[in-house]
Amino acid sequence: MAEAVALLAEFGDEAKVLAGGQSLVPMLNLRLARPGHLIDIARIPSLRGVQEDGDGLRIGAVTTQRDIERSELVARKYPLLSEAIRHIAHPPIRVRGTVGGSLSHADPAAELPAVAVLLDAELTVVSKRGQRVIPAQDFFVSFLTSALAPDEMLTEIRLPAWPSDATWAFSEVSRRHGDFALAGVAAIVERDNSTVTGARIALFGVGATPLRTPDAEAIAVGKTIGDDLWRDVAASAAAALDPPSDLHGSSAYRKHLAEVLTLRALQSAAAR
């Protein structure tokens, strides 16, 4: 780790951190990124692994997505994460791709950044200058831009305790199986019988970063579970959106899709 950090300090802008390479290497192959140096951290043992941390969980940045997929601990404590990870591309990508790599790449259409903001994860970041912890919502700054300074690297992700009495849903729509999401939603509904005591909704693919929807979440709290409520919540979640347009979908399409998916997700969470 010390060596990695020192190299990052030395080369800064000229260097890129390499873990799984599943996001970075395509860009190199296409000659869209041309770092002078790659700092390979994939074999730093302290950066890989999943551990309980009280009621929470610590995930080393270099833990592969496949490790998460196969983790009984994650399946038991954070079933939403277990489900979300299966939507990432295809198994050979997940064999190499890392949790930290996906988060650092900060693609707003990716699954893990959305799960991180949904769960209010805390990201530990290290440089020669020291260590700091960045809340997930502050970590994703813009399209493919994280809060990492050029000499910093992500070392660990801490997930707070999974809320009790919570049901969840995760879904995305993509052009084909395994593609980046046109729009996606991760949702948690906390309930006391038929009353909502807490709601969290994270949307991805619909902005420059993954988005929580505090106004929509606020609408749900204290209300009775039902389709009418979910429709209002979904409408509110989508109303604030100004998604990008690209070859795969217009802004209007993504906005509409976000509302449809949010509604369906809340219905499915409530039915669990």
Nearer to another protein, 247 or 271 (CB): 247
Give the length of the chain. Answer: 272
Considering only residues 57-116, where is the footprint of another protein by CB under 8 A?
66, 89-93, 95-96
Q: Closer to another protein at the Cβ: 26 or 150?
A: 26
**Residues facing 188 on adjacent strands:** 168, 200
Q: Which stretch binds another protein (CB under 8 A): 9-17, 123-131, 199-207, 244-252?
A: 244-252
Tell the smallest beta-carbon distance from residue 152 to another protein (Å): 22
Task: Indicate the residue among 34 and 228 with the shorter CB distance to another protein.
Answer: 34
Query: Distance between terminal CA atoms of the chain?
Result: 43
- 155 touches another protein by CB under 8 A: no
Query: Is 95 exposed, middle or buried, given 0-12, 13-18 or 19+ CB atoms closer than 10 A?
Result: middle
236, two tokens: 């509110």
Q: List, in order, residues 6 or more apart from 119 with CB less than 8 Å away.
A: 78, 80, 81, 136, 159, 160, 162
Q: Which regions of the chain does DSSP assign to beta strands (E)?
A: 15-18, 37-40, 50-53, 56-60, 122-127, 130-135, 140-142, 145-146, 153-159, 166-174, 181-192, 195-204, 211-212
Question: Is 10 near another protein (CB under 8 A)?
Answer: no
Instruction: Fill in the DSSP letter of residue 223.
Output: S
Q: Which among 2-10, 49-57, 213-221, 255-263 is the span making contact with another protein, rule CB under 8 A?
A: 255-263
User: Among residues 21, 101, 108, 113, which is the contact residue for another protein, using CB under 8 A?
Assistant: 21
The number of residues that bind another protein (CB under 8 A) is 40
Which among 131, 153, 259, 150 has a CA at the least distance from the CA of 203? 259
Which residues in the 160-199 window bind another protein by CB under 8 A?
173, 175-180, 182
Q: Name which position in 3, 10, 14, 40 contacts another protein (CB under 8 A).
A: 40
Which residues sit at the interface with another protein, rule CB under 8 A?
A: 18, 21-22, 25-26, 28-31, 38, 40, 42, 66, 89-93, 95-96, 173, 175-180, 182, 247-250, 252-253, 255-257, 260-261, 264
